[in-house]
Amino acid sequence: MLLKVFFVLAMLLSFAVSVLFFFNIKGKFNSKVQRKFLWFATVFMSVIAVTDISGLIDFGTYHSAFAFMGFVNLCELILYALYDRHKFKFIEFSSKILVIASVLELTVFNFPAYHLWGGGYTEKELDIDNAVIECGIRNDDGSIIVGDGAEMVVTFEGINTQVGTVKADVLFRKEDTKEAKFILDIKDTTQTENYRFNIANSRIVEKREKSNTIICDFSGDVSDIRVKLTPANNSEIILKRVYINTDVPFDISLVRFFFITLVSVFIYSVMHESFMKKSFSDNRKFCRIASAVVTIACCISAFSVLDYKLGDKSWSDEFKQKTGNQMTQELVDAFENGQVNLLAQPSEELNALENPYDRNARESSGAYALWDHVYYGNNYYSYYGIAPVVLFFLPYHKLTGYYCPDSLAVLVFALIGIAGLTKLFSSFIKKWFPDTETGIYITCLILIQTLSGVWFSIGRVWFYETAMAAGFAFLSWGVHFLFESNIMGKEKIILSKAFLASLFSATAVLCRPTLALYCVCIAVFMLMAFKKSGENTKKRLIYLAYAFVPMVCLGIVQMIYNYARFGSPLDFGIQYSLTINDFTKSQYHTDFVLVAWFNYLFNIPSFSASYPFISTHFQTLDTNGFFYEDTLSTANTSGLLFLALPMFAYMLSGKAFKKLPDRQSKINSLAYIAVPCVLIPVVIIASVWESGYAVRYMLDFSWEMIIGSLAIIFFLMRKTENITIKKLVKAFLCFSMVWALIVGGVQSVNQMFRYAEYHYDYPEIAYSLEQIFAFWR
């Protein structure tokens, strides 16, 4: 009781300190006595926070709440000191939003922690020694164990008191088990003879203290309670103690708190701060710093995801892989042996099949075959691009003696691509829309980084995603150098950057053949710039050499590689894959294209009050035929139109087209926007009619289409003088950013840390996400 009183007093003091700091910043109160009080109170709350964090004082269920209060007051002190030197409006707003967010976090968002307050509940440990065990074995120390995934059933009789919470103190016996079902049957004053079955349902998640407690809303006194526990993964669980009417622990979500505060402050700054209203061209230094912060934040997030998914394994152990997959090992071994076919030899049974590409024929005959490998001429090959192998996996093996892990490969290529995406977007703004406001530039950068599609590759690190991330890495830098080379525009062409644009875009094709469409598009842009490349034939020939030698050379390498494998320079070999379907006989149907277009572009997210909260149901459009959907292993996401709301700007493309000043401008807009940002993505999406849907393919077209839509928005904003419309568009872009972070971010997290059918791998992440949204549980 004393601890509860101390908590209330500390919370009121923390709120008072925060409010007084805010009023001091606003200049309403600023007396010497108040300043001394604020300093003293902040130091006091900071000391309490330190004792909470260090464990010097056991605050029980209030653990983390005291640390949070001290942290908030310290932040208010820092803001007060900053505002004393820099009178920025956003600092004043930050102080206000800190007050609001901290009050929400300690009250509304931790509503369950107050469940027992004022209810007359008596805390009690139930007598486990006299409990009736219906399923389970009693250990020597009195605890109860059950194994093999069986349901433990333990009954406590004669309780006869009000029950507001039930807490189970459990221990998981196996490392791969992180959760257990926690169910209660009870008898209360409204039903005294028979049990109310499954009246309370929850799950206990390892390292999530709050999950051990079920909040109960029973009527009157409870006479009997039956506790049922079922461990996941056919594992074992030990029930040590059972308590009733213990307070629900506070669960402070820093993710929720920082999201509310940082996003609110950022949007306020975009809408109201003068330095955020400066144009990109007039605020280059700040834009560089801001873009670096966004990029570093994305890179840290990518590393954190993969680091977490390593579990107890260290990166040093991860770097020492003695085996790999068809990209990291089999192609490496083949190239080191001086051959293009893989070292593994097909079985005699496979060679004997009339049609080895028929999956049923392979399985019914018992013929052993390497899954998803290319089989041609009684040899195994790999369909996947050779650039990552030659540039990374082969040198890695030569230098270390080990095979490169998928996690490292995806991480390296993803980080390169994330940096490249920032650079190309900055170049895009600098070249065509330098008058864009700083705040809008940063807002759109966050949006495009969030929805680029690379997070779906980071979420599952297989060789499929390695190829995707590698293609993204090289294409993003190729487009950046394309913008910087002045091939598109009236400025003088920079040959070195034209060379790099050609080199990187062609390398992207050697990572992922699908990206050849973008490479061809870039080649066309380079041809369009031929006339302005020089005043005489010599200069033009030099330009052609810089622009096309990398593409031609790498194209020849790819064609030689294709010819050596399949006897044709243009045959990439995907149709010979031993996979889910016989691609040598699959027939084109437009209905499959429509399924792909709908799911990648137009599928609408659904919202729920329970996990996963935001999801999207894959739609087959009642197509009667085999269209593969890789949703069980890689999940799916909403259509891009409902992830990136600026995509709706394509509906205004006709209006924008009419506002172009001349015929050449209209031709350029069709070439530079319609082709790479609309036509090619639509064709790429249509091409999956054969291979089927996989969420990772979003990386092939998402950021390209988003950039095209932003070009339309920026152009129309430039053409209007209506201040109200400009403010509304700015507000729309801010809302779109928040929408992307929530709707796109939640679906990305759910894909990274699967907790769905066949993949209940990360219950702790699912539980934390659940607590962020469903805080009433």
Output the 3-class SS for 406-418.
HHHHHHHHHHHHH
Q: What is the pLDDT of residue 240?
A: 96
Indicate if 366 and 448 belong to the same structural domain.
no
Indicate whether 643 belongs to any domain.
yes
The span from the CA of 652 to the CA of 654, in Å, is 5
Indicate if 165 and 305 belong to the same structural domain.
no
Q: What is the pLDDT of residue 32?
A: 75
Residue 28 confidence (pLDDT) above 70: no
Indicate whether 489 belongs to any domain.
no
Domain range enclosing 11: 2-115
Indicate whether 627 belongs to any domain.
yes
Instruction: Please indicate whether residue 582 or residue 443 has the higher confidence score (pLDDT).
Output: 443
Indicate if 696 and 726 belong to the same structural domain.
yes
The span from the CA of 179 to the CA of 97, in Å, is 36
The span from the CA of 502 to the CA of 494, in Å, is 13
> What is the residue type of 442?
I
Indicate if 429 and 288 belong to the same structural domain.
yes
Quick check: 608 and 666 in contact, CB under 8 A? no
Number of domains in the chain: 4
Indicate if 602 and 670 belong to the same structural domain.
yes
In terms of Cα–Cα distance, which of 734, 718, 737 is closest to 726?
Answer: 718
Q: What is the pLDDT of residue 13?
A: 94
Residue 339 confidence (pLDDT) above 70: yes
Quick check: 443 and 268 in contact, CB under 8 A? no
Indicate if 419 and 393 belong to the same structural domain.
no
Indicate whether 557 belongs to any domain.
no
Read off the pLDDT of each residue in 420-424 and give the average, rounded to a whole number. 98
- Indicate left, alpha or beta for 27 from its phi (over 0: left) and psi (-120 to 50: alpha): left
Domain boundary among the residues 400, 433, 464 is at 400
In terms of Cα–Cα distance, which of 633, 773, 614, 611 is closest to 692?
Answer: 633
Pairing of β 606-607 and β 755-756: unpaired
Q: Both tokens of residue 761?
A: 């791998």
Indicate if 288 and 347 belong to the same structural domain.
no
Indicate whether 451 belongs to any domain.
yes
Indicate whether 551 belongs to any domain.
no
Q: What is the DSSP string of 433-447?
A: -TTSBHHHHHHHHHH
The span from the CA of 761 to the CA of 131, in Å, is 33
| Residue position matching structure tokens 């009619």 | 689
User: Confidence class of residue 30 from pLDDT cuts 50, 70 and 90?
Assistant: low
Rounded to 5 degrees, φ, ψ at 441 are -60, -50
Domain boundary among the residues 64, 95, 115 is at 115
H-helix segments, 27-151 = 32-54, 65-85, 89-106
Q: What is the pLDDT of residue 233?
A: 85
pLDDT tens per residue, range 447-472: 999 999 999 999 999 999 999 999 99
* 759, β-bridge pairs: 756
The span from the CA of 666 to the CA of 600, in Å, is 28
pTM for the model stands at: 0.94
pLDDT tens per residue, range 73-96: 999 999 998 988 888 889 999 999
Domain boundary among the residues 384, 400, 416 is at 400
The span from the CA of 212 to the CA of 208, in Å, is 8
Q: What is the pLDDT of residue 536?
A: 86
Q: Reduced to 3 states, what is the DSSP secondary structure of residue 162?
A: strand
Mean pLDDT score of the chain, rounded to an integer?
94
| Residue position matching structure tokens 């590689």 | 561
Q: What is the pLDDT of residue 448?
A: 99
* 237, β-bridge pairs: 146, 172
pLDDT tens per residue, range 159-181: 999 999 999 999 998 777 889 99
Read off the pLDDT of each residue in 419-443 and give the average, rounded to a whole number. 98
Indicate whether 143 belongs to any domain.
yes
* Distances, alpha carbon 692 to alpha carbons 246, 380, 583, 627, 751, in Å: 52, 23, 11, 6, 18
Instruction: Please indicate whether residue 118 or residue 123 has the higher confidence score (pLDDT).
Output: 123
Q: Reduced to 3 states, what is the DSSP secondary structure of residue 193?
A: strand
The span from the CA of 466 to the CA of 468, in Å, is 5
The span from the CA of 345 to the CA of 351, in Å, is 10
Cα torsion through 685, 691, 693, 697, rounded to 10: -60
Q: Both tokens of residue 219?
A: 């009527």
H-helix segments, 166-245 = none
Quick check: 714 and 659 in contact, CB under 8 A? no
Rounded to 5 degrees, φ, ψ at 247 are -60, 145
Q: Both tokens of residue 82?
A: 């900053």
Indicate if 685 and 710 belong to the same structural domain.
yes
* 138, β-bridge pairs: 144
* Distances, alpha carbon 598 to alpha carbons 406, 539, 638, 686, 744, in Å: 31, 48, 10, 10, 17
In terms of Cα–Cα distance, which of 213, 88, 229 is closest to 163?
Answer: 213
Residue 509 confidence (pLDDT) above 90: yes
Q: What is the pLDDT of residue 731?
A: 98
Indicate if 128 and 179 belong to the same structural domain.
yes
pLDDT tens per residue, range 369-406: 999 999 999 999 999 999 999 999 999 999 999 999 99
Q: What is the pLDDT of residue 759?
A: 81
Q: What is the CATH number of the domain that holds 232?
A: 2.60.120.260
Long-range own/partner contacts, residues 266-269 (CB < 8 A, 24 or more apart): 266/442, 266/443, 267/734, 267/738, 268/89, 268/90, 268/93, 268/97, 269/90, 269/439
The span from the CA of 772 to the CA of 762, in Å, is 16
In terms of Cα–Cα distance, which of 637, 690, 331, 656 is closest to 511?
Answer: 331
Indicate if 143 and 35 belong to the same structural domain.
no
Quick check: 674 and 610 in contact, CB under 8 A? no
Indicate if 128 and 108 belong to the same structural domain.
no
Quick check: 548 and 526 in contact, CB under 8 A? yes
Pairing of β 755-756 and β 124-125: unpaired
Indicate whether 6 belongs to any domain.
yes
Q: What is the pLDDT of residue 29?
A: 62
Q: Both tokens of residue 179?
A: 């959760």
pLDDT above 70 covers what percent of the chain? 99
Quick check: 705 and 643 in contact, CB under 8 A? no
Residue 111 confidence (pLDDT) above 80: yes
In terms of Cα–Cα distance, which of 707, 704, 710, 699 is closest to 751?
Answer: 699
Give the torsion sign (CA, 549, 555, 556, 561): positive
Indicate if 328 and 387 belong to the same structural domain.
yes
